Amino acid sequence: MFPFVLLFFLLCCNFPAPGVSLNAEGYVLLTLKQSITDPQGCMSNWNSSDENPCSWNGISCKDQAVVSISIPKGKLYGSLPSTLGSLSQLRHVNFRNNKLFGNLPAQLFQALGLQSLVLYGNSFSGSVPSEIQKLRYLQFLDLSQNFFNGTFPASIVQCKRLKTLILSRNNFTGPMPDGFGTGLFSLEKLDLSFNQFNGSIPSDMGNLSSLQGTADLSHNHFSGSIPASLGKLPEKVYIDLTYNNLSGPIPQNGALMNRGPTAFIGNPGLCGPPLKNPCGSDTPAASSPSSFPFMPNNYPPQDTGNGSRESEKNKGLSKGAVIGIVVGDLIGICLLGLLFSYCYSRVCGFNQDLDENGVSKGRNGRKECFCFRKDESEALSDNVEQYDLVPLDSQVTFDLDELLKASAFVLGKSGIGIMYKVVLEDGLALAVRRLGEGGSQRFKEFQTEVEAIGKLRHPNIVTLKAYYWSVDEKLLIYDYIPNGSLATAIHGKAGLVSFTPLSWSYRLKIMKGTAKGLVYLHEFSPKKYVHGDLKPSNILLGHNMDPHISDFGLGRLANIAGGSPTLESNRVASEKLHERQKSLSTEVTTNVFGNGYQAPEALKVVKPSQKWDVYSYGVILLEMITGRLPIVQVGNSEMDLVQWIQFCIEEKKPLSDVLDPYLGEDADKEEEMIAVLKIAMACVHSSPEKRPTMRHVLDALDRLSISSD
């Protein structure tokens, strides 16, 4: 207690206030102002003449006590004073992206109620004080992009409530503390990347059952095998183990299954799927320092403990054996020289043009010899093995490393791969679809197709921004559309009780926007494309509920990438469903085609037509009007939505039985709803020739809007 009284006395001497007496916490904060340079004037209104600091920039109070200090991106230069720990009610400290340096004062952790400490992007150094264990309420700790060193404080495991731990891009060394996984059971985000942590990965890390996004252990010196217990982590967690010194087989269980090689690259000692190198006795030992990817080639080899036996073996070679080895090498060199000479004379010595100096010119006047040149397929293989991101948009500023380091959340899974929401460090959100791991021979075809799709630009079509191809991994990177799919907007999400239904005005807006996107694909895109798989789940909704058609060309890209469903397999599934439907004993004759959105002729015709999209669009209109799913249950039978509407018309059901009950508040728009119902029925005509074009549909919707104004 005495040091604090002395400090208070000194502060009073340094900051006299004749009129109003600043409280003790205000004087503590003024020591912070004295300790640092403030070029942007973030603390310009921190005055000793105030009664308390609660109105100061960056300060928040509760009941006149300081609970938060937040001055990010202020170019503050200096060190933190130890006096900040005397703010007994302090809960949050945020000095992100400044120029602060020096050690982290241990006295800071005397603020026992601290819940978040964010020092990202400064120049702090030294070790993290063991006193951090006192922060039993700490939930968010971000010390990334500093110069912290020393071992990871074992006392951190006492912070049982910690949810976010980000230590990336520092110089931490040593192993992870015992009890890491069992102690930090509340952890939701973990990033230890770009440090010098070593030793084995704790086996109890699999107990972090609350983890989300990416568990990033990449770019360290972790060694040994991957604990199979990591598979116990939630399946949605992406475990990044790249560029370590790990060895042995990759466990195939739980969260470690179905991962591409990008989660394990940079560990030469790892073997087994999804990597190419099989496990065997010749698998390179990952404990050798020279196997670490950033280690120079001339790094001195580590003593393995059997060096004396090896040297004795070398000394034991007889003179005759040495002579035999030398002679064998000479013969091999001679044979190689003869082979080269033969190839040169056969390929380069005949049928060549000579220049004025008598030098052979290859084709097109270039000096070359094709004897040992790689053929086109080999050169192509080299190109696709570069593990590089290919941008399709001039505004793409991120690279592959940033993409792999970003937080990732699974949005959904389908037969065509997993879709992730990825948030980069700068806050940019992207949607990334992982197509799978198969296929290696059709890169050129994939490249042509994906670059053609990447040229499509329309406000109602999701933009394909970039792609990534390797033999083992294919990724498509899109703009992220924030408000989910039309399917969720119409029917709600499974498991969620709260649901806000779409108003008629929003539904009409979505109908028109979707029609505009299809008109662009059908008439103005370079190849007059057909979507072929239009449904509410791939119509995404933006900030203002503007529709964005997604997954265009996805089936073909997945087929090229290898082993994914195609339209052909969809037709097979449709036929099976149709057979199942015919076998049902029903009172109503039904005809369920595929997923309810496929045109009837899709079962017979191989090549998709634009009239397929018109039919699918018509079913979507019916779904938006009725609020019903594309497959309707009627008694003991099933029928598709088109058949159900026709059934209602034949039975002369009242309009109220057909319309979505949530549209009751828009009763004054009933005429518009009937008009849209007529447009939808024209779109789902059984004869493709009698369906309107999307241009005619859009014109009809535009006239409808004009007439209602």
**Residues with active-site annotation:** 533
Best CA proximity match to 181, nearest among 210, 141, 140, 147: 210
Are the beta carbons of 248 and 269 closer than 8 angstroms?
Answer: yes
Best CA proximity match to 90, nearest among 41, 120, 53: 53
Check the CA dihedral 426-432-437-443 and report its sign: negative
Separation of alpha carbons 200 and 170, rounded Å: 19
Separation of alpha carbons 211 and 164, rounded Å: 9
Within 13 Å, how many C-alpha atoms sit on residue 645's CB side? 26
Number of CB atoms found within 10 A of residue 668's CB: 9
Best CA proximity match to 534, nearest among 450, 442, 601, 596: 596
In 344-428, which residue ranges form alpha helices assigned H by DSSP?
376-384, 400-405
Separation of alpha carbons 209 and 234, rounded Å: 6
Whole-Å CA distances, 208 to 59, 149, 153, 236, 485 = 34, 25, 19, 13, 31
Are the beta carbons of 176 and 197 closer than 8 angstroms?
Answer: yes
**Exposed, middle or buried by CB within 10 Å (0-12, 13-18, 19+), for 306?**
exposed
Separation of alpha carbons 627 and 663, rounded Å: 9
Are the beta carbons of 148 and 119 closer than 8 angstroms?
Answer: no
Q: Residue 148, SS3?
A: strand
| Rounded (10°) CA dihedral 93, 98, 104, 109 | 0
Nearest-Å Rg of the Cα atoms of the chain is 34
Number of H helices, E strands in the chain: 17, 31
Whole-Å CA distances, 101 to 40, 90, 145, 165, 510 = 18, 21, 12, 21, 53
Separation of alpha carbons 461 and 478, rounded Å: 11
Are the beta carbons of 30 and 23 closer than 8 angstroms?
Answer: no
Number of CB atoms found within 10 A of residue 277's CB: 13
Are the beta carbons of 343 and 335 closer than 8 angstroms?
Answer: no
**Exposed, middle or buried by CB within 10 Å (0-12, 13-18, 19+), for 311?**
exposed
| Cis amide bond preceding 284, omega within 30 | no
Whole-Å CA distances, 64 to 26, 42, 52, 89, 379 = 10, 21, 7, 10, 70
Residue showing tokens 């006795």: 281
Q: Residue 502, SS3?
A: coil
Separation of alpha carbons 292 and 276, rounded Å: 18
| Rounded (10°) CA dihedral 620, 624, 627, 633 | -20
Are the beta carbons of 445 and 469 closer than 8 angstroms?
Answer: no
Are the beta carbons of 409 and 212 closer than 8 angstroms?
Answer: yes
Structure-block tokens of residue 459: 């406000």
